[in-house]
Amino acid sequence: MLNKWEGIVLKTQPYGETNKIVTFMTREAGKVTAMARGAKKPSSRLASVTQPFTYGSFLIQQGRGMGTVQQGEPLESMRHIREDIVATAYASYAVELVDRLIESEKAEPYAFEVLVQALRAIEEGYDPEAIALFVEWKMLPFTGVQPILHECASCSAVDGEFAFSFTQGGFLCHRCFHQDPYIIRLTPTQLKLIRMFYSVPIEKIGKLTLKKETKKFIKKISTTIYEEQTGMRLKSKSFIEQLERAPQLFGANFESKKEASEETENPQADEN
Interface residues toward Zn ion, by CB under 5 A: 152, 154-155, 157, 173, 175-176
**Least distance in angstroms from the C-beta of 194 to Zn ion:** 17
- Select 107 or 158, whichever has its Cβ closest to Zn ion: 158
CB of 183 to Zn ion, least distance (A): 11
Closest distance of CB 210 from Zn ion, Å:
28
Considering the complex, what minimum distance in angstroms separates the CB of residue 103 from Zn ion?
A: 35
Burial, 246: exposed, middle or buried (Cβ in 10 Å; 0-12, 13-18, 19+)?
exposed
Our CB check for Zn ion shows the closer of 54 and 154 to be 154
Residue 101 or 173: the one with the smaller Cβ distance to Zn ion is 173
Which residue, 66 or 155, has its beta carbon nearer to Zn ion? Answer: 155
Given the complex with Zn ion, which of 177 and 250 has the nearer CB atom?
177
Identity of the residue, 159 or 244, whose beta carbon is nearer to Zn ion in the bound complex: 159
Q: Are 114 and 246 in contact (CB under 8 A)?
A: no
For the bound state, the minimum distance from the C-beta of residue 270 to Zn ion, rounded and expressed in Å, comes to 22
Taking the complex as a whole, the smallest distance from the CB of residue 229 to Zn ion amounts, in Å, to: 23
Give the Cα separation of 113 and 119 in Å (integer).
10
- Integer Cα distance of 131 and 206 in angstroms: 7
18, 53, 15: which is closest to 34 by C-alpha? 15
